[in-house]
Amino acid sequence: MPKEALLSASYKSASYKSASYKSASYKSASYKQETCLIMSLSVSPSPTVLAVETSCDETAIAIVRGRQVLSSVVASQIDIHRRYGGVVPEVASREHVGAIATTLSQALAEANREQSVNWDDIDAIATTCAPGLVGALMVGITAAKTLAMVHNKPFLGVHHLEGHIYASYLSDDTLKPPFLCLLVSGGHTSFVQVRGAGDYVVLGKTRDDAAGEAFDKVARLLDLGYPGGPVIDRLAQTGNPKAFPLPEGKISLPGGGFHPYDASFSGLKTAVLRLTEKLKAERPDGGELPVADIAASFQATVVRSLVKRAIACATDYDLSTIVVGGGVAANSGLRQQLRLAAEKHGLKVIFPPMKYCTDNAAMIACAAVAHFERGERSSLALGGQSKLSITEISQLYVSAL
Ligand code: KG4
Ligand code: ZN
């Protein structure tokens, strides 16, 4: 079927107006139109979206109404990938296939138990479609499209990083653009000016490793296991952050000086490797390494780099709120230092609730609600993409209005 036909099939038959809109009966056509508009603006509840997230190593399904999470289930594969020291894409895809049906049943049961939600109450089905591991993404995309077709609901593809931005909408009812988002996940680190739903400008980014990736690599070289962020964070709390001075990665500009917002973490990782080798060489008898001090020094350097750049972006672009998204938003050092620095500069900082920092489907549903409310829908021909810039989100949608 051509793309357009699939798309119109997906939203033509869908009933995504509120029950009050559908059941109202009016005498004249013109009266009906006007009243419906007023009703949909004043009493229509926020849309309810069921979303699927399978971009990496978490199988997640959530049901969200506006910014209210009705259910959120995450089946983590971390224990499986830990054996290999990182995510094995083919294993991730197979695990998603095995977990998706149970995750869906649990998410539906939870929303039904807590809020009496059933299929009639769900306005749209969404799924992460980029960026991510393509095999893993395809499991969620296939599940979401199937649900959309079977239940006659509109379908929306969601950009994973936009989901991380929307995680903070789940903790703050009043949050609205413009603001700065510091996106710090396992695969991405960027400073994004948020101008509206789907309207993003990347002000700065890492030129090499992402912040989460640096945590994972440093944990591996210290034999701390996978994922590295939580374990380094825990150890850092008992270590001395000034024990080992480590270099903060900077990006030189051709005309001299440094890029004010772009960051680099691969040199820092190499510096930790050299430091560890030196400390091991000083302990030929295999004496214990000061792992907590190394972790604290490394974490403090990452945090300093992120905080400095986030504050610079916010003040230079006149953005009074900084929102943090992605797995590294769970980091205790980042939470503490960014709050302190923001307070000094008169800025507001919002972190997502801890359970919505790492991958989950509630944030994907929340982002989908925003696109749904703008009348945007995705084609059922939409595929998964391993890479897609956050500035290219508009290509995921067509207008249904
Ligand atoms: O957002 P996320 O769950 O997945 C991606 O989209 O990549 O982020 C996972 C990353 C991993 O690199 C993990 O080590 C890191 O987030 N992470 C942390 C913490 N918890 C998770 N990094 C630092 N401190 C933490 N507490
Ligand atoms: Zn993520």
Tens of pLDDT, residues 173-218? 999 999 999 999 999 999 999 999 999 999 999 999 999 999 999 9
* Minimum CA distance residue for ligand 1 atom 6: 185
Q: Mean pLDDT, to the nearest integer, of 347-375?
A: 97
Q: Which helix (H) or strand (E) holds 366?
A: helix 362-373
Tokens 């982002």 found at: 367
10 Å Cβ neighbour count for 159?
A: 28
Task: Kindly tell me if the per-residue pLDDT of 125 is higher than 90.
Answer: yes
pLDDT at 44: 61
Tens of pLDDT, residues 131-180? 999 999 999 999 999 999 999 999 999 999 999 999 999 999 999 999 99
Atom of ligand 1 nearest to the CA of 215: 14
Cβ < 6 A, ligand 1 pocket: 56, 185-187, 212-213, 215-216, 227-230, 233, 326-328, 330-331, 358-359
Residue 267, C-beta contacts closer than 8 angstroms, at least 6 positions apart:
247, 249
Task: Kindly tell me if the per-residue pLDDT of 392 is higher than 70.
Answer: yes
Average pLDDT over all residues of the chain: 90
Task: Kindly tell me if the per-residue pLDDT of 22 is higher than 50.
Answer: no
Chain centroid to CA 226: how far? 20
**DSSP designation for 258:** B
Atom of ligand 1 nearest to the CA of 211: 12
Tens of pLDDT, residues 266-310? 999 999 999 999 999 999 998 999 999 999 999 999 999 999 999
Q: Mean pLDDT, to the nearest integer, of 247-258?
A: 96
Model confidence at 3, pLDDT cuts 50, 70, 90, reads very low
Tens of pLDDT, residues 105-116? 999 999 999 999
Residue 167 contacts residue 330 (beta carbons within 8 Å): no
- Check whether the bond before 47 is cis (ω within 30° of 0): no
Model confidence at 30, pLDDT cuts 50, 70, 90, reads very low
pLDDT at 400: 79
Tens of pLDDT, residues 260-277? 999 999 999 999 999 999
Model confidence at 317, pLDDT cuts 50, 70, 90, reads very high
pLDDT at 25: 28
- Check whether the bond before 227 is cis (ω within 30° of 0): yes
Query: Among 160, 358, 386, 388, which residue has the most ligand 1 atoms within 8 Å of its CB, making it the best to mutate?
Result: 358
